[in-house]
Amino acid sequence: MRVHVCFVQNDVLNHEIKTAADGIGLLNEDHLLYLEDDKKAKHKITFTSEGVILERIAEVSSRTVLRYGEQGECAVDSPYGAMHFTAQLQFSEKRDSHWKVHYSIFSEEEKVSEMELEWKFEKLA
């Protein structure tokens, strides 16, 4: 189904909140597809029985697998090479009107990122 999606990203470590997408997306049960506003990156968000998968396809692409109760992983591919990190899901919520995910990324034992993400939906006719 077509939805209006507003994606707000809270970078907890850097104290920065921004709206990264505000436009049209496709929502189907456990999958969301949309484009990022300024970079035209494609995003795919998937909720599964094991966790949440965040995918971004652009010049710098990433795939973050967040598992319920287990360590996950994050892979980032850029023109300069690939990087691999571990990830930890702290919270997720999947409702009809919004999805939320709070997670951290680690390089070895050091936390390098902590993000709170929220996608708000409105069904389109």
DSSP, residue by residue, the chain:
-EEEEEEEEEETTTTEEEEEEEEEEEEETTEEEEE-TTT--EEEEEE-SSEEEEEEESSSEEEEEEETTEEEEEEEEETTEEEEEEEEEEEEEE-SSEEEEEEEEEETTEEEEEEEEEEEEEE--
Confidence of residue 38 (pLDDT cuts 50, 70, 90): low
Q: What digits encode the pLDDT tens for the residues 101-115?
A: 999 999 999 999 999
- The count of structural domains within the chain is 1
Q: What digits encode the pLDDT tens for the residues 48-68?
A: 999 999 999 999 999 999 999
Q: What is the pLDDT of residue 116?
A: 98
Average predicted confidence (pLDDT) for the chain: 95
39 pLDDT higher than 70 = no
Which residues span the domain enclosing 112? 2-123
Query: In CATH, what number is assigned to the domain containing residue 20?
Result: 2.40.128.20
Closest CA to 9 of 48, 50, 51, 56: 56
Q: What is the pLDDT of residue 118?
A: 98
Q: Is the pTM of this model over 0.85?
A: yes
Q: What is the pLDDT of residue 44?
A: 97
Give the pLDDT mean for 8-25.
95
Tokens (6 digits) for 45: 């968000």
